[in-house]
Amino acid sequence: VTVLKDRQSRKSKGVAFVLFLKQEDAINCAKNLNNTE
């Protein structure tokens, strides 16, 4: 997981990238978490 942070304040920008080992896991995650916070 890579969390994007502001360079000066080091606070999260509210965005992250997740690397999945299996394509199936990525697809399931996208289906289950789409339009959620």
Tens digits of per-residue pLDDT, 5-31?
999 999 999 999 999 999 999 999 999
Q: What is the pLDDT of residue 8?
A: 96
Query: Coil, helix or strand for 30?
Result: helix
What are the domain boundaries of the chain?
2-33
Q: Give this prediction's pTM.
A: 0.60
Q: Write phi, then psi, for 2 (nearest 5 degrees).
A: -120, 120
Q: Distance between CA 7 and CA 25 in Å, rounded?
A: 31
Q: Do residues 16 and 2 make contact, with C-beta atoms less than 8 angstroms apart?
A: yes
Strand partners, 3: 16
Band (pLDDT 50/70/90 cuts) for residue 36 is confident
Band (pLDDT 50/70/90 cuts) for residue 34 is confident
**Residue that has been written with the tokens 């996208």 in this structure:** 30
